Amino acid sequence: MSTTTTPVLGHPHSIHPPGVFTAAWVIAGRTVGSWREQLATVVITWLFPVFVTVLFLGLFGGALRVPEGTAYVDFLVPGMLAVTMLFGLETTTLSAAADSALGINDRFRTFPIHSAAIVLGRCLADMLSSLVGLTVMVAFGFLLGWRVPDLSPGSASAALALLLLLRFALLWIGLYVGYGAKSVASVAYVQILVWPLAFFSSVFVNPATMPAWLGAVAEFSPVSATASTVRGLLGGTSWPNVGIGGEFAPVLAVAWPVLLTVVFLPLAARRFRDGAVDRRD
Amino acid sequence: MVAIEAEHVGKSYRTEGGDVGLHDLSVQAEAGTVLALLGPNGAGKSTAVRGLSTLLSFDRGRARVAGHDIRTQAREVRERIALVGQSAAVDDQLTATQNLVLFGRLRGMGRADARARASQLLDQFGLSEADARAVRGFSGGMRRRLDVAASMLVRPEVLFVDEPTTGLDPMARRDLWQILRSMVREGTTILLTTQYLEEADALADHVILLGHGEVIAEGSPDRLKSMVGPPVIQLVFETGAQADLALSAIGRTVKGAVLRDLRTVAVDANHTDVLARCLEALRDVSASPIEVSMGKPSLDDAFMRLTGHQTDAPEEEA
């Protein structure tokens, strides 16, 4: 720039700051707008659960024993819908960390907007991203041979609601971890940590085939609870020899997300509010 | 009119190393002036800025910014201030225009108004050619300019700038100074923090030197410079033994010679003939320095002289 440039100052008249929902909408729009700029990354995020599904179908489709009259794909795809929600945890954690570490949250917080709008905007954007991911997974699931016999709108809606409920709960864990991060790199471990959560569940194999203790842990996991319930709602059969965790899957599919939200929402909100405390001079 | 007024504000953080933060700061800045908080890392500068810009609440004291109490009227304060933080807080994934439109809309502008204002600002900040490019490809200086532009979407009565030029090259630094000066000419009050004496000197009407959360000295840049003292001569030797020898030789003829590190002797150049006398003393003991320099006192020198302590934290590389 030329050094003779004199910046003209802004509008001298007072401007009315936006309300909480308008501000949240604008902030969510920022993330959606950035999808265009990083299309490849976003599309890979949406397609990633499909890659995993194809991989497991290819690897284990022939090797795993499933009850007669069913196909592995009918077990795997509904489970992968829950895993798609789990993968959303990475997106939330990494973007919350970036906003926190780069000072973007701080800039927002010096604006005359309600600070809840900043968190709400992130929620809206991430839920939308996961909804797109879910749609992609369902579409490719059908292409891969997944069949849903006698699907009723009621059970489809219930399945969708449970999946989004899980995503909503994971959102607060992601925000809690991300808002406390000093840099994006410092929370990259989340990308690895989601894998054991995905594998030690009823998504890929029958927990009854795991060592007893691990099978029990796997059956009681939030991912299993949602996966098994969604599988049931979408006309699939459950794994044979289901344990007590599997019996109570529908209860756990609601209880887990509610519990996680009750614990992590206030923690995330507090970290957001006190974000400054972590960064001293 | 007083734009920034703080009385005994402070905030403490408990760490393993004891209490850190800002212990006691009182400031008063008239509208349209620049107040600089000068100090090394960990001096409490950012805590002061973050508190006054409503990002954190002070444990004690009271403050008014742009005529409003920061605790009870935070929203009114936020309508009148802008913050340029330590890292250029712009979204890497968005273009320059998208960033400014986003911030403009959160300030309450309509989409069309925000667009118009964004294009005006990009033009003024020499970024109009990069308006449609994602910010991730920007240089440090360009990011900083966009960052400052974002703080000017709506004219702030008070602008907080936290270490604006750390990490910028000299050219970008000078550009930024120019921008800040013109904002002040238009009536904005600026509170800036810096680790550079030179920056405080170039921009500020009033400087507060902070160390360990306490005010060490304050006044106009000229007053501070006179408190900090004369220029410093630095003599670097090949070995520590030679430096010791040189120190005792110089110490016999001039006052104020100290060993800065193992191989470096620093001497206050408070008379015009100090350099000549030093070199004469060195010739007598046949100690020849491998490097001789004379310059303005650094922040380290200022600290040394005003507090008798070195700064704890190393100065960040610029």
Take residue A99 and report the two structure tokens written for it. Answer: 């906003």
Take residue B68 and report the two structure tokens written for it. Answer: 């409003």
User: Which of A15, A33, A111 lies at the smallest CB-CB distance from B98?
Assistant: A33
Query: In this structure, is residue A44 part of a structural domain?
Result: yes
- Whole-angstrom Cα distance, residue A96 to residue B99? 17
Query: In this structure, is residue B270 part of a structural domain?
Result: yes
Query: Using an 8 Å Cβ cutoff, are A18 and B105 in contact?
Result: yes
CA A276 to chain centre: 26
Domain count, chain B: 2
Q: Which residues of A169-191 are buried (b: 16+ CB within 10 A; e: fewer)?
A: bbbbbbbbbbbbbeebeebeebe
- Whole-angstrom Cα distance, residue A26 to residue A117? 9
Per the model's pLDDT, the better-predicted residue between B219 and A243 turns out to be: B219
Mutate to test the interface with A, among B11, B97, B154 (most CBs of A within 10 A): B154
User: Last residue of some domain: B227, B261, B281?
Assistant: B227
Query: In this structure, is residue B152 part of a structural domain?
Result: yes
Query: In this structure, is residue B310 part of a structural domain?
Result: no
* pLDDT of res. B316: 40
User: Which of B106, B113, B185 lies at the smallest CB-CB distance from A26?
Assistant: B106
Query: In this structure, is residue B307 part of a structural domain?
Result: no
Same domain, B32 and B178: yes
* pLDDT of res. B1: 87
Domain count, chain A: 1
Query: In this structure, is residue A114 part of a structural domain?
Result: yes
Query: In this structure, is residue A194 part of a structural domain?
Result: yes
Same domain, B77 and B205: yes
Chain B from 112 to 171: CB within 8 A of any A CB: 113, 117, 120-121, 124-127, 134, 145, 149-150, 152-156
Query: In this structure, is residue B313 part of a structural domain?
Result: no
Same domain, B79 and B146: yes
Q: What angle do CA A110, B52, B228 make, to 5 degrees?
A: 130
- Backbone φ and ψ for A245, nearest 5 degrees, come out as -60, -40
CB of B93 within 8 Å of a chain A CB? The answer is: yes
Same domain, B22 and B146: yes
Residue B34: partners with Cβ closer than 8 Å, 6 or more residues away: B180, B184, B189, B190, B191, B192, B203, B204, B205, B206
Query: In this structure, is residue B248 part of a structural domain?
Result: yes
Q: What angle do CA A50, A55, A61 make, to 5 degrees?
A: 110
User: Last residue of some domain: B211, B227, B243?
Assistant: B227
Query: Using an 8 Å Cβ cutoff, are A230 and A78 in contact?
Result: yes
Which tens digit of pLDDT belongs to each residue from A218-235? 999 999 999 999 999 998
Same domain, B175 and B255: no
**Chain B residues with beta carbon closer than 8 angstroms to that of A104:** 89-91
Domain CATH for B288: 3.30.70.790
CA A233 to chain centre: 20
Query: In this structure, is residue A154 part of a structural domain?
Result: yes
**Chain B residues with beta carbon closer than 8 angstroms to that of A34:** 91, 93-94
Query: In this structure, is residue A252 part of a structural domain?
Result: yes
**Searching chain A, which residue's CA lies closest to the CA of residue B99?**
A30
**Chain A residues with beta carbon closer than 8 angstroms to that of B180:** none
Please give the average per-residue pLDDT across A260-266, as a whole number. 96
Give me the DSSP letters along B203-260. Answer: H-SEEEEEETTEEEEEE-HHHHHHHH-S-EEEEE-SSHHHHHHHHHHHHHHSS-EEEE
Domain CATH for B79: 3.40.50.300
User: Which of A11, A110, A281 lies at the smallest CB-CB distance from B78?
Assistant: A110
**Chain B residues with beta carbon closer than 8 angstroms to that of A107:** 83, 85, 89, 103, 150
Same domain, B27 and B144: yes
* CA atoms lying within 13 Å on the CB side of residue B39: 28
* Confidence (pTM): 0.81
Same domain, B44 and B122: yes
User: Which of B55, B92, B152 lies at the smallest CB-CB distance from A7?
Assistant: B152
A106: left (phi over 0), alpha (psi -120 to 50) or beta: alpha
In this prediction, residue A260 has a pLDDT band, given cuts at 50, 70 and 90, of: very high
Same domain, B266 and B131: no
Shortest distance, CA B76 to any CA of chain A (angstroms): 7
Q: Residue A77 is part of which domain span?
A: 20-273
Mean pLDDT across chain A:
88
Query: In this structure, is residue A9 part of a structural domain?
Result: no
pLDDT of chain B, 318 residues: tens digit per residue: 899 999 999 998 876 666 678 999 999 999 999 999 998 888 899 999 999 999 989 999 999 999 999 999 999 999 999 999 888 889 988 999 999 999 999 998 999 999 999 999 999 888 999 888 999 999 988 998 999 999 989 889 999 999 988 878 888 889 889 999 999 999 999 999 998 888 888 999 999 999 888 899 999 888 887 777 778 888 999 999 999 999 999 989 888 888 888 899 988 887 788 888 998 899 888 888 999 988 877 666 777 777 766 555 444 433
* pLDDT of res. A14: 53
**Chain A residues with beta carbon closer than 8 angstroms to that of B109:** 11, 15
* pLDDT of res. A9: 43
* Whether residue A74 has pLDDT greater than 70: yes
Query: In this structure, is residue A12 part of a structural domain?
Result: no
- Whole-angstrom Cα distance, residue B20 to residue B313? 13
Same domain, B177 and B238: no
Same domain, B67 and B94: yes
Q: Residue B162 is part of which domain span?
A: 2-227
Query: In this structure, is residue A14 part of a structural domain?
Result: no
Same domain, B194 and B275: no
Query: In this structure, is residue B33 part of a structural domain?
Result: yes
In this prediction, residue A149 has a pLDDT band, given cuts at 50, 70 and 90, of: confident
State ipTM: 0.83
**Chain A residues with beta carbon closer than 8 angstroms to that of B44:** 281
User: Last residue of some domain: B195, B227, B259?
Assistant: B227
> Which of A151-165, A172-186, B68-82, B276-290 has the least mean pLDDT?
B276-290
Query: In this structure, is residue B309 part of a structural domain?
Result: no
